[in-house]
Amino acid sequence: MKKFKLLKLAPLLFASSICNVQAAQIFVDLVPGGGIDSTLTAFTGTSIDVDILIDDVTDFAGFEFDLNFSDPMLNATAVTSGGIFGLDGFELDNQINTSSISFSETSVAAFGLDISLGSPTLLATISFDIVGVGSDPLNANNIVLSDSLGFGIGSVTVINAQLTTENSGVTPAPGVLALMFVGLGFVSLRKNIKSNQ
């Protein structure tokens, strides 16, 4: 069972059942920058960044989440903090596994910190290499949010994403193909000359 690192660290947590009743939203955004894109078609041999965003939260001071993905399609290469807590941010967990990542961060200046968000704000960016074809969801789960007193932020709505990957279909330029055929012709000609001698 997953241990809730943030709630264990909070010194003022009186009982695990005490929760801040506010709601929050978590988004998995497949096209960083601009709006939130929950679908994308990408190609093998390329790389993509996936943003994890948070919105509609007040007195925010810590988080943790997992992101699950299809390992035959994707290879996670890096997880980078969004820097939401600035210089006071402290990473608790940053793990890349075969088909999931785990990331958590808190503010070391949690008491008196009052981060309130009314628009989608970056928690972390996950970088992937696309290594296979298919269609699979990227699901954020095991989400724990905490306020500046260490209490859990209760209701979290998660908007996950659907990624489709296809073969790149990259074909060599015509000049490259012509050179390749010329080279094969020379090899064939050389073999014929040797066999006739």
Q: What is the pLDDT of residues 76-106, one digit of tens each?
A: 999 999 999 988 888 999 999 999 999 999 9
- Taking Cα atoms as reference points, which of 140, 137, 110 lies closest to residue 25? 140
Please state, in angstroms and rounded to a whole number, the distance separating the CA atoms of residues 118 and 24. 10
The yes-or-no verdict on residue 17 having pLDDT over 50 is no
Kindly report each contact of residues 187-190 with a partner whose C-beta sits within 8 Å and lies 24 or more positions away, as own/partner: none
The yes-or-no verdict on residue 142 having pLDDT over 60 is yes
Please state, in angstroms and rounded to a whole number, the distance separating the CA atoms of residues 74 and 80. 17
Q: pTM for the whole thing?
A: 0.75
Average pLDDT over residues 31-47: 92
Average pLDDT over residues 152-179: 78
Average pLDDT over residues 53-67: 93
- Give the angle 36-46-163 at the CA atoms, nearest 5°: 40
71 vs 22, higher pLDDT: 71
The yes-or-no verdict on residue 44 having pLDDT over 50 is yes
Under 8 Å between Cβ of 169 and 41: no
Number of H helices, E strands in the chain: 2, 12
Of the pLDDT bands very low, low, confident and very high (cuts 50, 70, 90), residue 67 is very high
Give the Å distances, CA to CA, from 192 to 68, 179, 181, 185, 187. 57, 20, 16, 11, 9
